[in-house]
Amino acid sequence: MKWAGAAIVLFACTLIGLRVARGYRERPLALRRLLQAVLELQSEIEYHATPIPQALNEVGTRMGGFCGTWLVDLAQQLSRLGDWPEQAQALVSLSKATDGTLSDQDAEPILRLLRSIAVADRDHLQQPFLAARADLEAAIEAAQDEAAKSARLWQYLGALSGVLIVLLLL
């Protein structure tokens, strides 16, 4: 009976470590989805001259997944409020949409982009999109570096903490 409990504790701690490590590995992929959304928004807004809420809705519908859901929710809030993205973002959380993989701070390049293109004329749309892409590419690189360092650490930390707890209990 004692050994069964020890095995369960070890298994649970290892799973916790693996879950945290998976979050580190998923973050760069989720940021790439946001970068893809920015590229698709650029084509919708620049080339098709689609209004911002409608462009967000169309891109979100096409993309699907957490990013699509978040963009569609953001478009609905922008349509209702008819105001600045901060108000809509306060009601639509990126962290909730990704189950904690991304934070609401990761949405900042897109919100800055929406603020910029809301007041920009058609001839000056390229610069905000380039800035948002650069910010997201830098975030992707930082997330990859962090994942390379932290994912394996959390795997080992989960297993070793399970071993430590089992040794303390026995």
Mean pLDDT by 10 residues, the chain (170 residues): 88 93 90 90 83 85 85 80 60 68 78 76 77 90 91 91 89
The pLDDT score that the predictor gives to residue 6 is 87
> Which of 59, 51, 146 is CA-nearest to residue 102?
146
Contact indicator for 64, 97 with CB cutoff of 8 Å:
no
CB contact at 8 A, 29 and 139: no
- Rounded CA-CA distance 110/125 in Å is 14
In this structure, which amino acid lies at residue 82? Answer: G
Length of the chain counted residue by residue: 170
- At 163 the pLDDT is 92
pTM of the model as a whole: 0.80
Tokens of 51: 């209004």
- Domain ranges in the chain are 2-169
pLDDT number for residue 82: 59
